[in-house]
Structure 1
Amino acid sequence: MSGMTFDFTIVLRGYDRQQVDALLGRASAALAAGGDAAQRARARDALRAADFAVVLRGYDRAQVDGAVQMMLRELDAAPSDDLRAVLGSVLRLDDADDQRIIDEVRRLRTLADLHGH
């Protein structure tokens, strides 16, 4: 997947080309990084949250939406052998070690219990 490029049609009222190129470039780099689970998790989060601006001359929206879905499938299928990195990313912890992850999960569970969830 390294160096993945897309050839989108430019249309009237399409997605902003710079935004699309930047986001898909980061996702491609995450795939090329191989074993970096945290980088893949961040790329997945960014793709899922993508909200591209619609501009006068931009990329075909259906083509971009399809590419985003394909990239999500690729990122999901990539090996995820570093569970600590994934959990650290999900919990938004820098340099997560086992104890920090456990402490954060306990803290979140306590908050959920206090709020009746």
Structure 2
Amino acid sequence: MSAMRLDFTFVLRGYDRSQVDALLGRASAALDAEDASQRARAREALQTADFTIVLRGYDRAQVDGAVQMMLRELDAAPSEDLRATLASVLRLPDADDQLIIDEVRRLRALADLHRHE
């Protein structure tokens, strides 16, 4: 979702454009970042967003929908972090899900074997 560009309708009483642009810009940048803490901060900021209502602002329903979409995107992103972390810990370069699962099972069987000795 890099370089996310959303076009919102201007309405008589809508959300402050600069606030919306700034928050969604930070969230979009967080999606592109490999920093899980940056994504967590963006997720929290989106969840607690309280935009000022101004004369000639962005359509509130459209912005609320975009915020929800961005939250879903941020929630989906950590799975790549988990895969990369597990592959690193297990020392499996270019690991896919099945390779990680197989290695965890192998290690579990080895641990069970040693526990019974």
Question: Is TM (by shorter chain) over 0.5?
Answer: yes
Indicate the SS of the match to 1:55: strand
The CA distance in 2 between the partners of 1:14 and 1:79, in whole Å, is 32
Q: Which residue of structure 1 aligns with residue 77 of structure 2?
A: 78
Q: Which residue of structure 1 aligns with residue 94 of structure 2?
A: none
Indicate the SS of the match to 1:50: coil
What percentage of aligned pairs have identical amino acids?
83
The CA distance in 1 between the partners of 2:47 and 2:72, in whole Å, is 11
The CA distance in 2 between the partners of 1:65 and 1:24, in whole Å, is 11
Q: Which residue of structure 2 aligns with residue 46 of structure 1?
A: 45
For 1:62-106, what per-residue CA distance to the aligned partner results, in whole angstroms no more than 9, with x for missing partners?
000000000000000002536xxxxxxxxxxxxxxxxxxxxxxxx
The CA distance in 1 between the partners of 2:51 and 2:35, in whole Å, is 26
Q: Which residue of structure 1 aligns with residue 110 of structure 2?
A: none
The CA distance in 2 between the partners of 1:29 and 1:4, in whole Å, is 9
The CA distance in 2 between the partners of 1:30 and 1:24, in whole Å, is 10
**TM-score calculated relative to the size of structure 1:** 0.67
Q: Which has the larger radius of gyration?
A: 2
Q: Which runs of 4+ in 1 moved over 3 A?
A: none
The CA distance in 1 between the partners of 2:11 and 2:42, in whole Å, is 26
Specify every segment of 5 or more residues in structure 1 that has no aligned partner in the other structure, as ranges: 83-117
Between Structure 1 and Structure 2, the one with more helix by share is 2
Compute the RMSD of aligned alpha carbons: 1.0
Indicate the SS of the match to 1:13: strand
Count, aligned residues: 81
**TM-score calculated relative to the size of structure 2:** 0.67
